[in-house]
Amino acid sequence: MGVLPNLLGYNVRRAQIALWRDFSRTVGEGEVRPALFSLMILVEANPGIAQIDIANQLDIDKATIVGLVQRLQKRSCVVCRQSTVDRRRQGIYLTDRGAAELRQLRQEMLEHEARFTRLFSSEELAQLFALLRRIHP
């Protein structure tokens, strides 16, 4: 088949597609994908976080965040409240419904994770994490 299997980028991409597929088919009834899930996790852990902070933490452009937040607003999972100290900022908060949904999502996500992490010993997993983090410092 050639050189492809010996390329780092190819192997990471294939792994990512495999994970994405399993996630899509098992988490959130196919309506929530990794990016949206990450955003919910972030909002839960940082109530009132602003879009710009999300963009920086996830290392993606702030314009990309807008659409994700709007999708969560439409699902009534988050609300935005303008900051009183800096009116440019809008704090994002999980709603009760969002929190409930996230509980379910987290459960499904953990089962999804487990289907892959159980392929590794804990030493191997720690090693894999360390190596991947060197790629996205």
User: What is the DSSP code string of the chain?
Assistant: --SGGG-HHHHHHHHHHHHHHHHHHHSGGGT--HHHHHHHHHHHHSTTB-HHHHHHHHTS-HHHHHHHHHHHHHTTSEEEEE-SS-TT-EEEEE-HHHHHHHHHHHHHHHHHHHHHHTTS-HHHHHHHHHHHHHH--
Q: Does 7 bind DNA (CB under 7 A)?
A: no
Residues in region 61-90 near DNA by CB under 7 A: 61-71, 80, 85-90
Q: Does 94 bind DNA (CB under 7 A)?
A: no
Q: Contacts with DNA: how many residues (CB under 7 A)?
A: 32
Q: How far is the CB of 70 from a copy of itself (least distance, A)?
A: 21
Residues 38-57: x where in contact with a copy of itself by CB under 8 A, - otherwise, as a string: x--xx-xxx----------x
Which residues of the chain form contacts with DNA (CB under 7 A)?
13, 17, 21, 31, 33-36, 50-53, 58, 60-71, 80, 85-90
